[in-house]
Chains A and B, each alone.
Chain A
Amino acid sequence: MTAVAHRWTGQGVAPGAAVAGSWRADRPVPALTVHIGPDEVEAAFAAVAADLDRVAEQVRAQGRTAAADIVAVGALIAADPDLVDSAKQAAGTAQPLPAVRDAVEGYATVLDSLDDEALRQRAADVRQVGRRVVERLAYGGVGRDAPAERFVLVAAELGPADLIEHLGAGLVGAVAVRGGANSHAAIVARSVGLPLVMGVDAEVLDLPDATDLLVDADAGAVVAEPSAAEVASTEAASAREVERRDRLAAERGLPHVTADDQPFGLYANVSSDVEVRLALDSGAIGSGLVRTELQFLEADRWPTEADHRRALAPLLAEASGRPVTVRLLDFANDKIPPFLSPPAGLPVLLAHPEAVIAQVRAILDLGRDVGLRIMVPMVSDPSEMAPVRAAVEASAANLGTPVPPVGAMVETVSAVRQIDALCQVADFVSIGSNDLTSEVLDLDRVDPRARTELAAHPRVLSLIGKVVDAAVAAGLPPLTVCGDAGSHPTTLPLLVGAGVRSVSVAVARIDETRWRLRRLDTEQCRALFTDALRLGGAGDVAELVEERIEVVMP
């Protein structure tokens, strides 16, 4: 057969590459004229509930508790007597399948209309249950099971459960027409190492199932009927990646100590409840950075207390019992909503005390069950801490909650210059390595991906060392570096050398970061750091790190 490759481009939202037969998750069901009775509808719901229960238990047995809970909600929905009753009534009409779908949609719409973000998200679960029930009815009560062998999932839109239920089975990659890097499906895919490309032309939906499909998320490409050479190289790379991830994940639960027995802290940067779940599953202690502004980047006004509550409630509930550092709104740089104009940042937030109080109240009230800390972003002067602390103390008194530590995120050169004074008015400090690096090296116009490695520049390193020393001298708790430098092979040994013993990294980097930290020797890193400060640029430092530090990765 003549292989005519069809190529589409999209956004690679979870790295990696895979090739396998395609399987469309949401293929439209054929129009049917056959009679469907209430008993068949009831049986279909029961079968879907049993399916989801089974998947939840399988996932739970693999130790992925959080993922199991997500799927188990679907089983409860499929067993809902009200939902089943209205679907049974719908089955008696002339067009039973659309009628059943409409009945289910009615319930989804009700949830969609609620104020509570976590409840609104359940609407997608209801629709997923409805889709499965309708498929079962359409295909004669057997359901459309995913292929037993390896496959690439294709869908117009993917929910996290769509991916979770096939993990550990044959799923090796996924393609979606809609969605982006911040979708829950993308977060799940990154955390489990599943290559995922989104934003692909809808043509891909028309591929017959079992079409050879290559997903290259690193290149943002999807290829139907790829050449034998492409298949071979992708398969080899994908097999290596799976093995690598398994070996990294095998160290979950091992002691968080370096090669010379120095304890370290491993936290995750998060902005949603799903990320918290995945982070805890990966063995993170808690969150060193909760980003609160991401849900409000399209806002047309300052978020109210109710807005903050809706955004934070699911996340903080999921983090119950864990240490969590919540950062106040960081509307700066590339994260400025339409109602503000650049440079925005902390000064604009502080100029709106009611906006600070709205957020602080929501954090304090919802954060009663976590080891809460509140962090001020982009601090450039010690005087900026007092108004926030006053707002926290007043709100805590008002709500009857304890007053949590209030700390500063050190990510401006100005903050480093005044670090001793800042440490006197902050209960803790964290370092934002990305912004600090770009300010020191004037990288505003440089590709953001280059910033992580440039944190190894001696000018950046010396500032980081200064902050660590000041925090120790002031008797503050061990500081955390929140940023990509904490998970980078070049910069991590240097941070350890500077005295950093705690990092907060992207959820997908937790396993890898733990692996590296457990193999670093703090004395060796210290010597490396001292020598690196004498070098001329980031490139020289990277060479030195490569020469001195050997961490064998799986």
Chain B
Amino acid sequence: MPPSSEDDVAERVVVLPKPLHARPAGQLAQLAGRHKEATIQLVAGEKKANARGVLAVMAMGAVTGTEVTVTVTGPGAEAVADEAADILTAAEAADA
């Protein structure tokens, strides 16, 4: 991989259309698992979580309407950030 990609950073800000429950949290954890070289950090107000941990993400207790900032650091950051944002905003039917 090109050396410059290690420093890739991408940020997305989304407003949750549904609470951040187990299903989207699980999808984020799986995304993080597929991109182990990248770090996916979520921030909602004072709560922060690394997306690799489903419990940390659920413990943010993010409800509908919460603004969540996704910051991805590492190779392929832009694409991973898009995918993370899609999971968070496609959370319409998501619940578990």
- A interface residues, Cβ below 8 angstroms from B: 69-70, 72-73, 76-77, 79-83, 107, 110-111, 114-116, 118-119, 122, 126, 273, 309, 313-314, 317-318, 320-321, 365-366, 369
Contacts and interface: CB of A to CB of B under 8 A. Distances in A.
A-side binding surface: helix, strand, loop or mixed? helix
B95 A318 contact: yes
Given A116-B19, A118-B21, A77 B55 contact: yes
Given A81-B53, A110-B59, A70 B96 contact: yes
Contacts of A318: 95
Given A111-B59, A114-B61, A119-B21, A80 B53 contact: yes
B19 A76 contact: no
Given A73-B26, A77-B55, A116-B19, A369 B63 contact: no
Q: Which 5 A-B pairs have the closest CB atoms?
A: A317-B95, A320-B93, A82-B53, A114-B61, A76-B26
Given A70-B96, A76-B54, A77-B55, A119 B23 contact: no
18 contacts: A76-B25, A76-B26, A80-B53, A80-B54, A110-B55, A110-B59, A111-B59, A118-B19, A118-B95, A119-B22, A119-B58, A119-B61, A122-B22, A309-B64, A317-B18, A317-B95, A320-B93, A365-B64
A64 B44 CA distance: 35
B56 A82 contact: yes
A110 B59 CA distance: 6
Contact of B64 (A76, A81, A119, A313): A313
A115 B29 contact: no
A114 B21 contact: no
Contacts of A70: 96
Interface of B: 18-19, 21-23, 25-26, 29, 50, 52-56, 58-59, 61, 63-64, 92-96
A69 B56 CA distance: 20
A474 B96 CA distance: 41
Given A111-B59, A115-B61, A119-B21, A80 B29 contact: yes
Contacts, number: 82
A45 to B, nearest CB: 12
A366 B63 CA distance: 12
Nearest to A110: B59
A314 B94 CA distance: 9
Nearest to B52: A81
Contacts of B58: 111, 114, 119, 122
Contacts of B96: 69-70, 72-73, 118
B61 A73 contact: no
B55 A83 contact: yes
Contacts of A83: 53, 55
B55 A80 contact: yes
A246 to B, nearest CB: 28
Given A116-B19, A119-B19, A119-B61, A107 B92 contact: no
| Residue among A77, A116, A119 with max Cβ neighbours from chain B (10 Å) | A119
B52 A314 contact: no
Contacts of B54: 76-77, 79-80
Contacts of A313: 18-19, 64, 95
A313 B93 CA distance: 10
A8 B50 CA distance: 49
A116 B25 CA distance: 14
A115 B47 CA distance: 14
Given A111-B55, A119-B58, A313-B95, 13 more contacts: A69-B23, A72-B26, A73-B22, A73-B96, A77-B54, A79-B29, A82-B53, A114-B59, A118-B22, A273-B95, A314-B21, A320-B93, A321-B93
